[in-house]
Structure 1
Amino acid sequence: MGLIHIPISRVDQKFLNEMQEYMTHELGNKPNTVRNKLQRFRGLVNEAFKQGLISKDPYYQFERVKREKVSRAKLGEKEINRIVNLELEKGSELWHVRNYFIFSFYMAGIRFSDICTLTPENLVDGRLKYEMKKTGSTKNIKLLEPAIEILKGYNTDKKGYIFPILNEVYKDEFVLRKKISSKNVIVNRHLKELAKQAKIDENISFHVSRHSFANYALQKGMGVYSISKALAHSNLKTTEVYLKSFDEELLDNEMENIFK
């Protein structure tokens, strides 16, 4: 399917089936990713249907792949500390990647796409204020001491980005997204090496910092509403689904403790 132009009039149930097959088998997308992409595409199709550009709703009786139950990888407090305490050469790639990951953990799971483009202008009166790329909404959160310590080793008073992830400031949004995506792959590779050195079995990626923060906050008794605000979710339902697997583990631990 690739980068080709397809008339909206050709979008029918057969097209949706082919699209689903392509994403599943050619792109290797997971079921939940396929479902989410099809849901976003549905918005375009609905608009075309309203305007009479297509005569039938192709999504009527269309069967999407079933949603997979998600098990969210996360690190516990001891594992986070093992990464923090690794002896790494200052200025090395692993040293930088550890800083990015730990900074994200202490800053309520700031996403990789956002950490890449932070500038000194995002640091305001002891707070981190930035526009989230995923949602376009603004996040304003207090800079905690461990995060401040990490920032001391980076560019916080000059032009350009704070962290040396991207080589230059990219004005073109498409180019920027591609650069961030390629850097994310490299950072995730380094994170796996950090996990290996810290003797952590979990298969971690940068997004695990976000899961780890949410799990840590839950373990420490932070309420769902506060966790939702910290993660900048649009509604509590999203947070409840996000925390479900962590909540089950917390219950398991509490059950074990009362019968010791």
Structure 2
Amino acid sequence: MKSSASITLRKKPNKKGQYPLAIRITKFRKSSYLYIGHYITLNYWDNEKSIVKKSHPNAARLNYLLLTKLAETNRFLLQLQAEGKDFSAAQIKKDILFLNSDKNFFDIADAHLEEIKANNKFGRLTVDKAYIGHIATFVKSRQLSFQDLDENFLRKYMNFLKNSKKLSERTIVNHLVLIRLLFNKAIRQGLIDRKFYPFGKDKIKIKYPETRKIGLTIQEIQSIEKLTELTDEEYHARNIWLFSFYLAGIRVSDVLKIRWSDIYDNRLHYTMNKNSKLVSLQLPEKIHAILKDYINDKGSDNDFIFPELKVVDPSDEKQLYAKAKNANKWLNSRLTEVAIKAGITKKLTMHIARHSFGNIAGDKIPVQMLQQLYRHSSVTTTMMYQSYFISQETDKALNSVVDF
């Protein structure tokens, strides 16, 4: 009979009325428990999801610890199964407790992926899973200790990503950011001493390379607005692009999830998918013209405005993500055709709507107001983003020298 492991809250309180968090190992219908050393009261336990509720002050750390212990236990059970060993739940617990205390990098990585999946962050899950796969390919196994993740290892790994995987500098930096995140989690859990930390001064420095962000000009957007000879598909793609642009460059994943019920009092109210922030924007007059094209397909106030996600169960976050991702590819293909008809040589994609808003906003709008429109956590992030588009002062400086 196959062994199984799961996260649980044992219903045996201590003297303070708190209950122990544990990993339950089951074999032959008998269970044994690995306690992680932390207790909570019942009101902080989500029995349906088997996680600590967010209302607990240390919910994130406790849940991550539970997921890490679960991943470690499952790895051990798979090893026993592969070796054809048949132990009782009690014996399995005993063997796990005597395992070497050095934790494998991939145990922490697997727990990290499980945490992202539990939070329905499927976009990040796809990316981080691919990055961790690259690390496994590089080391040619799933065994890697944190002490092995030294500067020499990372420099060789960066070279591997650049020459073998042909990845860009920005993507390589993103790999390092993930490794740093997992290393810091391991340090916080006491799995590795900070003296082995390979990042920082005189070590591996993570610096994002400068990238070009190109947005459309007012004239180019007007040429898109004035197009008349469009197919139904091109017309629809243009509508979604303009809808995004008119509302400060809303990301396509958010645009497609907007429902009729999100619009009231001449405002759009929605929650950003990227950071779960609430956004409220007044609807520009041009938005109403777009909405008229879809009002006849409205079944109820809870319907999505645009048709892409109407065929998906709205409660299935994974399917919503997959459908929105495919829709973005389809829209970008149609937008390429729109750009050609508008005589635009720049690459036209859904994300360019955000860059175009930033390009036109330039230094016309106070940075604090732009921060609110973009919903950035820090005004510094807004300033860095707008720096790609603000060129008026540098243009004046240049002309002051050469205009003679």
Query: What does 1:89-238 align with in structure 2 at a 5 Å threshold?
Result: 89=230, 92-155=232-295, 158=300, 159-166=302-309, 167-218=311-362, 221-238=364-381
Q: In structure 2, do the counterparts of structure 1 residues 107 and 176 end up closer, same or farther at CA, with 3 Å as the change threshold? A: same
8 Å contact from structure 1 (residues 35, 64) kept in 2: no
Distance 1:142-1:72 versus aligned 2 partners, 3 A rule: same
- Change in Cα spacing, 1:53 to 1:230, as seen in structure 2 (3 Å) is same
Structure 2 distance, partners of 1:136, 1:27, is 33
Please tell me whether the aligned partners of residues 312 and 319 of structure 2 are also in contact (alpha carbons under 8 angstroms): no
* Residue 247 of structure 1, CA deviation: 1.0
Are the equivalent residues in 2 in contact too, given 1:34–1:65 (CA < 8 A)?
no
Alignment partners' CA distance in 2, 1:75 and 1:250: 19
8 A contact 2:308–2:323 mirrored in 1 = no
Matching residue's letter, 2:341: Q
* Superimposed CA distance per residue, residues 220-250 of structure 1 (whole angstroms, 9 cap, x where no aligned partner): x211111121111111111111111311256
Matched residue, 2:149: 12
Q: Which runs of 4+ in 1 moved over 6 A?
A: none
Percent of aligned pairs sharing the same letter: 30
Structure 1 runs not aligned, ≥5 long: none
Q: Greater RCO between the two (CA within 8 Å, min separation 6)?
A: 1
Between structures 1 and 2, the one with greater strand share: 2
Change (3 A) 1:257 1:122: farther
Given residue 9 of structure 1, which amino acid in structure 2 is its aligned partner? Answer: S
Distance 2:213 2:293 in 1: 31
Farther-moved stretch of structure 1 (9-18 vs 156-165): 9-18
Cα distance between partner residues in 1 of 2:133 and 2:384? 33
RMSD: 3.1
What is the match of residue 176 of structure 2?
Answer: 38
Partners of 2:164 and 2:203 in 1: how far apart?
20
Q: 1:39 to 1:140 in 2, by over 3 A?
A: same
Give the drift of 1:169. 3.5
Equivalent residue, structure 1, for 2:189: 51
- Looking at structure 1, the residues matched to 163 and 276 of structure 2 have their Cα atoms a distance apart, in angstroms, of 31
Alpha-carbon distance between aligned partners in 1 of 2:321 and 2:382, rounded to the nearest angstrom: 26
Counterpart-to-counterpart distance in 2, 1:225 and 1:111:
20
Give the distance between the partners of 2:299 and 2:142, measured in 1 at CA. 48
1:2 aligned to 133, 138, 144, which one? 133
Unaligned runs of 5+ in 2: 1-131
Name the counterpart of 1:247. 390
Amino acid at match of 1:175: Q
3-state DSSP of counterpart to 1:183: helix
The one-letter code sitting in structure 2 at the alignment partner of 1:103 is F
Distance verdict in 2 for CA 1:128–1:24, change over 3 Å: farther
Give the direction of change, closer, same or farther, for the CA distance of 1:172–1:243 in structure 2 (3 Å limit).
same
CA contact (8 A) 2:186 2:192 kept: yes
Does residue 67 (structure 1) correspond to residue 204 (structure 2)? The answer is no
Q: Secondary structure at the match of 1:165?
A: helix
